[in-house]
Amino acid sequence: MTDLKQLDLDLRAGRLSRRDFLKAAALFGLSAAAPSVLFGKPAYAASEPKKGGHLKIGTGHGSTTDSLDPATYENNCMQSVGKTIHNYLTQVAANGQLGSELAETWEASEGAKKWVFKLRQGVEFHNGQKMTANDVIASFKHHGGADSKSGAKVIVDAFSDLQADGDHTLLITLKEGNADLPYQLSDYHLAVMPANAEGKIDAKSGIGCGYYKLKNFEPGVKTSVEKFANHWNAGTVHLDSAEFITIADVTARVNALTTGEIDAADRMDVKTLHLLARNKNVRVIETSGNAHYSMPMRCDTDPYKSADVRLALKYAVDRNAMLETVLRGHGYVGNDHPIGRANRYLAKDLPQRAYDPEKAKFHLKKAGAEGLKVQLSTSDAAFAGAVDAAVLYKEHAAKAGIEVEIIREPSDGYWSNVWMKKPFCFCYWGGRPTEDWAFSTAYAADAEWNDTVWKNEKFNQLLLAARAELDEAKRATMYAEMQMLLSEDGGTIIPIFNNYIGAVTDKVGTPEVIANDWDLDGQRAVLRWWKTA
Amino acid sequence: MLSIIRLILERLGLGVLVLFAVSLIIFLGVELLPGDLCQALQGQSATESTLAACRKELGLEQSAPTRYFHWLANIAQGDFGKSLANGREISELIGVRLANTFFLALVAAVIAVPLSLILGILAALYRNSWFDRSINVLTLASISFPEFFVAYILILVFSVQLGWFPSLSDVSPDTPLLERLHKVFLPALTLTLVVMAHMMRMTRAAIINLMASPYIEMAQFKGLSRSHIIIHHALPNAWAPIVNVVALNLAYLIVGVVIVEVVFVYPGLGQLIVDSVQKRDIPVVQACSIIFAATYVLLNLTADILSIATNPRLLHPK
């Protein structure tokens, strides 16, 4: 499979003609998994990408407290900067398939416990140093250990051994088998940076081996990058330079875009999107990914201990109304599990749960909880519109005979004092690229962020089995069953998934396929887009 | 003259005490907010072990009084310390932004102060005329709208429709002066509209107040013109209240512009302090509030000295 993905990448990179690709792919017996570049819809900007130019991106994120240390990347701005100035072992391509980056090929053995990564040769860092396996090891170690405050700690702490075999082979041994390891290594934290003589990286230096090198970094204001001419794959990117400008206010972002002061922006306001779309000089870019809003209920607290009460509360939400009101239709309805359209194993056969006050009443009666009263904690810190969503839910639930009391919590400190503490509240998830990642982050019995304290034995057994399973068909069945378990028995209501909505001016060209795993074309806009004028 | 110097020294001494009190209040205030820097930094993705590691690295596991006195000892030696959030030197973090804040305040003041004084004097001169009334209505209207609304209207007219000025004021240290002035024009105009009413009306009221005094009547009997009376006889005695209001508004231009900064994406101190409060980055919040408090202390001192210096009766108190 790895080789096929490499082919895909070569095709994208222009190293392979379509004819060669088809020939080679036929050798692998390829049919259904053909990359979308071949059969995609006609492009918006049918013209060939143009080389050169400067792209200015306005992002809604970015704060004066940001740091260049990849372990601390926590917002869309820094994550985009990271993917622009750094390379990773693997990368998720725009069509959601895993591709190679610094690792050329990889292979698993012993039930996905032992992994061998063959690294690319001749890769140069921005400081001139050549990349070897030791740099990768030092970069990974930065995130592990007791002192780590990295968001990738979980990934690195799952390694039992990390070794170099020569300069360009990396051996990773895991404590438990994990078929998704190559996916996890594409995580934006795990940037490969040059190691010094002591085997440590200078994490705040901003020196990596990415397509662009850092020119200027003013946290919370702007970050400029320029093309790195010695990059091993420099021919695939189009822009000479780019900058990320933090524009926290959405109206200011729209103003800057319509007056042409920036070329692209993320996080457009759904309330005014129809007005923006009328502007002939602006093109809205919208993708449906895995980001979703959730309403976790603590399953160790009454009345949420009862599975019937949880089901009643799930039937009591009118998902379509919430989608129309809170997101103005810019998203899709959820089915009470966190797997979305950007995941590989979304269970499409699982029946969509609909608004059904009668069924809710039935389950309440079964649980002996008629006339149920619940308190729902909310704040716009969870997501923009969470207070409106709570008011809507109150109305929906009233028809099912459930009385919802809304508690408005302060935005400040919401994630430390309300989420995971209050028995029923609102929450937001950016989604995870793999099923295992999504489940083990917040739904596994021992997960640190198990915000529902849901402990389902069957679910947790399946989680371990599926993680080490290398057979795709078997994995798909297991993940489908897990989605069913979450939907039927799980402790969270997931009413809606929100789209990623950005916009560009008519001076920006974009590829046919836009990634749906993050904002700004998978946070790789600078690497994938170009200027037309 | 000696009495003025003594007054300055006295007031400066008191100012230091005020700064000390401010730093203590701010520290306690930030301590009382729910959550700490590590929780704020890691947000939803915090776990017990990453929180503990983060607190240990930043010295947040020490007690609050220990941290406060440690900070106080450093500040006494002129060391603002490092930002807890990203480990950068605070003096370096604040330097550029403070310069930007002063620049914007200066441009706004250069437009607003002469304009409001002149309009105020004219309004007093042509009291109760249509000019007086319309200038009052206009300035009161502009102070009554929220700042962001005024800013959006200006952007709509001058940036989106006319295209004369940019809607983003993203200046950097190497921006040339002319370009810099062009970029900060809209935020400066917004601030001008916000602070003008206060100064204009105070000028008008102070002069009108004096116009009823016997010595002005005397001047009228001498047959002097109205404008001569106002400028040479009334204004010198009206300086004290006017200077105080101007000082107050100048201080506002420095410390109160965060909304304008956000709308125009201007990298000033306001945005820094808001980010730092949200992240519980106490050293940065402390440093910014000390600067803001010092601004008030110094501007008030200047106002008092100017009002004494322009008024002989205050200069020689009985």
Residues 270-309 of B with CB under 8 A from A: 271-272, 275-276, 278-279, 281, 284
Query: Would you state the pLDDT for residue B312?
Result: 66
Residues 199-228 of B with CB under 8 A from A: none
Rounded to a whole number, what is the distance in Å from the CA of B176 to chain A's nearest CA?
18
Tell me the average pLDDT of chain A: 87
B98, B157, B170, B182: best mutation site toward chain A, by most A Cβ within 10 Å?
A: B170
Residues 101-130 of B with CB under 8 A from A: none
A143, A255, A425: best mutation site toward chain B, by most B Cβ within 10 Å?
A: A255
Query: Would you state the pLDDT for residue B46?
Result: 67
Interface membership of A143 toward B (CB under 8 Å): no
pLDDT tens readout for residues A445-474: 888 789 999 999 999 999 999 998 888 899
- Residues of chain A in contact with residue B86, where contact means CB-CB under 8 angstroms, are 65-67, 72, 219
Residue carrying structure tokens 């870019």 = A285
- Residues of chain B in contact with residue A150, where contact means CB-CB under 8 angstroms, are 50
User: HSE (CB half, 13 Å, CA atoms) of B121?
Assistant: 19
| pLDDT band (50, 70, 90) for residue B235 | confident
C-beta of residue A37 within 8 angstroms of C-beta of residue A512: yes
CATH superfamily of A292-498: Dipeptide-binding Protein; Domain 3 (3.10.105.10)
Lowest-confidence pick of A82-96, B84-98, B219-233: B84-98
pLDDT higher than 80, residue B87: no
Q: Which of A386, A347, A377 is nearest to A475 (CA)?
A: A347
The highest-confidence range among A80-89, B64-73, B81-90, by mean pLDDT, is: A80-89
- Alpha-carbon span A2 to A22, nearest angstrom: 16
Rounded to a whole number, what is the distance in Å from the CA of A311 to chain B's nearest CA?
26
Query: Would you state the pLDDT for residue A201?
Result: 93
Architecture of domain A44-82+210-288+500-533: 3-Layer(aba) Sandwich (3.40)
For range B46-55, the mean pLDDT: 74
C-beta of residue A169 within 8 angstroms of C-beta of residue A118: yes
Interface membership of B54 toward A (CB under 8 Å): yes
pLDDT tens readout for residues A74-124: 888 999 999 999 999 999 999 888 999 999 999 998 889 999 999 999 999
Rounded to a whole number, what is the distance in Å from the CA of A452 to chain B's nearest CA?
14
Identical fold for domains A44-82+210-288+500-533 and A292-498, yes or no, is: no
Give the burial class of B271: count Cβ atoms within 10 A of its Cβ; 0-12 exposed, 13-18 middle, 19 or more buried: buried
- Residue B275 and residue A256: Cβ atoms within 8 Å? no
For range A419-446, the mean pLDDT: 88
| pLDDT band (50, 70, 90) for residue A41 | very low
| pLDDT band (50, 70, 90) for residue A188 | very high
Residue of B nearest to A447 (CA): B47
Query: Would you state the pLDDT for residue B272?
Result: 85
Query: Would you state the pLDDT for residue B105?
Result: 92
DSSP conformational letter for A368: T
Report the percent of chain A where pLDDT is more than 70.
91
Residue carrying structure tokens 């959405």 = A250
Query: Would you state the pLDDT for residue B10?
Result: 86
- Residues of chain B in contact with residue A222, where contact means CB-CB under 8 angstroms, are 170, 172
Report the percent of chain B where pLDDT is more than 90.
21
- The better pLDDT of the pair B233, A352 is held by A352
- Residue B39 and residue A218: Cβ atoms within 8 Å? no
CATH of B90-315 given 3.40.50.300, 1.10.3720.10, 3.50.50.60, 3.30.930.10? 1.10.3720.10
- Alpha-carbon span A351 to B226, nearest angstrom: 86
For range A264-268, the mean pLDDT: 92
- Residue A72 and residue B41: Cβ atoms within 8 Å? yes
pLDDT tens readout for residues A496-508: 999 999 999 999 9
pLDDT tens readout for residues B282-318: 788 888 888 888 888 889 888 888 888 777 676 666 5
Interface membership of A428 toward B (CB under 8 Å): yes
Interface membership of A419 toward B (CB under 8 Å): yes
- Residues of chain B in contact with residue A248, where contact means CB-CB under 8 angstroms, are 262, 265
pLDDT tens readout for residues A272-281: 899 998 999 9
CA separation, residue B9 to residues A295, A327, A473, B4, B12 (Å): 61, 61, 83, 9, 5
Write down the ipTM of this complex: 0.77
pLDDT higher than 70, residue A38: no
pLDDT tens readout for residues A84-98: 999 999 999 998 889
Query: Would you state the pLDDT for residue A103?
Result: 95
Number of C-beta neighbours around residue B237 at 10 A: 18
Rounded to a whole number, what is the distance in Å from the CA of B109 to chain A's nearest CA?
24
Interface membership of A412 toward B (CB under 8 Å): yes
Lowest-confidence pick of A21-35, A338-352, B36-50, B293-307: A21-35
- Residues of chain A in contact with residue B85, where contact means CB-CB under 8 angstroms, are 64-65, 67
- The better pLDDT of the pair A326, B43 is held by A326
Architecture of domain A87-203: Alpha-Beta Complex (3.90)
Backbone angles phi, psi at B127, to 5 degrees: -60, 140
- Residue A74 and residue B160: Cβ atoms within 8 Å? no
Query: Would you state the pLDDT for residue A27?
Result: 40
- Residue B44 and residue A262: Cβ atoms within 8 Å? no
- Residue A151 and residue B86: Cβ atoms within 8 Å? no
pLDDT higher than 90, residue B91: no
Domain layout of chain A by residue ranges: 3-38, 44-82+210-288+500-533, 87-203, 292-498
Rounded to a whole number, what is the distance in Å from the CA of A81 to chain B's nearest CA?
16
- Alpha-carbon span A533 to B95, nearest angstrom: 37
- Cβ contacts below 8 Å, chain A against chain B, sum to 129
| Nearest CB partner across the interface for A416, out of B34, B49, B271 | B34
pLDDT tens readout for residues A503-522: 999 999 999 899 988 899 99
- Residue B263 and residue A252: Cβ atoms within 8 Å? yes
Residues 18-37 of B with CB under 8 A from A: 33-35
Distance of CA A472 to the CA centre of its chain: 21
pLDDT higher than 70, residue A20: no
Report the percent of chain A where pLDDT is more than 90.
65
DSSP structure string for B99-148: HHHHHHHHHHHHHHHHHHHHHHHHHHHTTTSHHHHHHHHHHHHHHHS-HH
Rounded to a whole number, what is the distance in Å from the CA of A497 to chain B's nearest CA?
18
| Nearest CB partner across the interface for B45, out of A151, A221, A259 | A151
B33, B58, B86, B274: best mutation site toward chain A, by most A Cβ within 10 Å?
A: B86
